[in-house]
Amino acid sequence: MDRFANPPTAPTTRTLTLAAPTVSSVSPASGPATGGTPVAVTGTGFTGATAVRFGTTMTTSFILDSDTHITTTAPAGTGTVQVTVTTPRGTSAQFVTYSYGPVTTPTLTSVIPASGPVTGGTTVTLTGTGLTGATAVRFGATAATSFTVVSNTEVTAVAPAGSGTVQVTVVTPGGTSNAVAYTYSVTPAPTLSSVNPVSGPTTGGTNVTLTGSGLTTATAVRFGTTATSFTVLSDTHISAVAPAGTGTVQVTVTTPGGTTNGIPYSYATTPVVSGVSPSQGSRSGGNTVTLTGTGLAGATAVTFGATPATSFTVVSPTQLTAVAPPGAAGLVDVTVTTPGGTSAHGTGTAYFYVDTPALTSAEPSSGPIAGGTAVTLTGAHLIEATAVHFGTTAASSFTSVSDTQLTAVAPPGNAGSVQVTVTTAGGTSNGVSYTYSAAPVLTALSPAQGPLSGGNTVTLTGTGLARTTAVMFGTVPAAFTVISDSHLTATPPPGPAGPVDVTVTTPGGTSPAVTYTRTPPPTI
């Protein structure tokens, strides 16, 4: 074999070509013709950038923040120009533009608040026009501690320390604005210690008492950024009406001495009850009911119809437990009240007060200790039965026939009487008597024999005979009279000569047999 039939090929040389940068956006996308506006350029492949141009004009400097972000300053220019980035791999080609507008001198119309403490630190809102691109905010000759351009019509600034009344101005590439007055007050800054209540509905309108110090000269009360109406009651108390809002906001008071610390106030949504479990109970109340829904935190009341719950506990914003108060038989709606309002009636809010069941009779009223007897219970309010007990033992089974009748199978029991009761959501009924009887026992017959024609009287001796329902001579019933629990008399029926089994039957069962012998008359 030729080892060199397929000689190795020469290695392939590959050249990696890197992509040119791309520009996807600039922010802001416009500025004054004089330039000077800080501009953020976003895109890809900026690493190694050597130039940033606005049209054909190269910026004097730029900062490469990352491979996707450059910060630069717009040069002077006119019209709309393309912004490009150049790297050793090329120049971006996307048509992302920057527009030069006419130079506009900024104007100020207001500063809120218009006063603050001499120590500075007050955040003020400046409103006006042409504020985009602001490069400085001054309180008199002193620069603001910091400032933020919110929009072309709003700037927020932190007042530096100062004294007296100074003129606030804003500087932009378009020039310096007119001045608005700001007064440094030697009045101590106000403080807040509490608001009451601390929450209310999103629709507003809640009367809130603010407690603190230095409140006499209050000029504004705000819930978050929203000013509201208020009444100064004293140097330590203000009554204010909460405006509409959402979430949790800070309540502040502004005086010439400054603005207070914030105290949180929460806007609560109207609670919703979607489930009540159990959904029924006794008219006497007292059972614990679990309510589920939303917005249940901060509950101030739970009512069953028009009656307040005996007590309630908030478990979570979606669950609380309440102890049902007494009520009249029938349906009521359960509602929850919070600072956000009161829940509505509807699906899932119903609770039914159920009448306590009552029993009038049990038929039969006795049976064997082995159980198994079907007993018909008669009374009222039985249809919702959840349990039937013979004494303390649950029935083997039961069936509600109607609101006035049910049948139950007696469980095994001990000889003697027990109380039968029925339990429903309305409670447990009165008891009716049911007697467990042991099976009867026969120990003797006297006489133990008699004529074929019957008709004679036989005394039966034994135990458990008081409730005798039948005396049988074989399969033929005999007339009988109960004398006591241990004696009865019976009249044997006619029958053929020979022995016959005699038994006694009671609700406790049938006795073991004893023998009675019919004898023919003597032969003459």
Q: What are the helix and strand counts (H, E) for the chain?
A: 0, 59
Helix, strand, or coil (residue 486): coil
Q: Hey, CA dihedral for 120, 125, 129, 131, is it positive or negative? A: positive
Per-residue pLDDT reduced to its tens digit, 83-103:
999 999 999 999 999 988 776
Give the pLDDT score at 230: 96
pLDDT at 4: 41
Residue 129 tokens read as 């026009």
Q: What is the pLDDT of residue 17?
A: 52
pTM assigned to the model: 0.49
- At 99 the three-state DSSP class reads strand
Burial environment of residue 14 by CB neighbours within 10 A (0 to 12, 13 to 18, 19 or more): exposed
- Close Cβ partners of 183 (under 8 Å, ≥ 6 residues apart): 114, 115, 116, 164, 165, 166, 256
- pLDDT for 16: 47
Q: Who contacts 10 (Cβ-Cβ below 8 Å, separation ≥6)?
A: none
Summarised one tens digit per residue, pLDDT across range 346-375 is 778 899 999 999 999 999 999 999 999 999
Q: Which residue has the tokens 């603010």?
A: 210
Please list the ranges in the chain whose pLDDT falls under 70: 1-17, 103, 524
CA dist., res. 162 & res. 158, Å (int): 12
pLDDT of residue 11: 52
Helix, strand, or coil (residue 487): strand
